[in-house]
Amino acid sequence: MLDQLNRINLLYDIYGPLLTLRQQKTLHLYFSENYSLAEIASENETSRQAVYDLIQRALDSMEKLEEKLGLYRLFNEQQELLAEADGLLLQNQLDKQDLKRLKEIIADLRLSNEK
């Protein structure tokens, strides 16, 4: 559940500006401000079902954007490479194999940024 919420929040950070202002506001209230569907519905003078549908459409839009653009996947791959590099650098002594791997990580990150 927490992983799914983190995924939604990262997708929102990446793709939120591509949503309508109404979708942005509703997702922000629901996921960041922890408003209930009823509270959002009351604020927007609409039904809970309409708010739920709006949230689902916004989430679907972000998932479709991710399928096409893959920015969330790219971000995760880069974070994994950075974590690996950080782990290597925290070692007191780096051998030739570690240095080679760090160079590969840097090359992979440069390449992924060029995509």
Measure the CA–CA gap between 97 and 1, rounded to whole angstroms: 38
Prediction pTM value: 0.77
Is residue 18 located within the same domain as residue 61? yes
pLDDT given for residue 59 in this prediction: 97
Is residue 53 located within the same domain as residue 78? no
Q: Containing domain of residue 30, as a range?
A: 2-69
pLDDT given for residue 113 in this prediction: 64
Is residue 56 located within the same domain as residue 6? yes
pLDDT given for residue 64 in this prediction: 97
If one counts the domains in the chain, the total is: 2
Give the number of other Cβ atoms within 10 Å of residue 27's Cβ: 22
Give the number of other Cβ atoms within 10 Å of residue 28's Cβ: 13
pLDDT given for residue 85 in this prediction: 82
Is residue 61 located within the same domain as residue 89? no
Is residue 12 located within the same domain as residue 58? yes
pLDDT given for residue 115 in this prediction: 59
Is residue 46 located within the same domain as residue 97? no
User: Which stretches of the chain drop beneath a pLDDT of 50?
Assistant: none
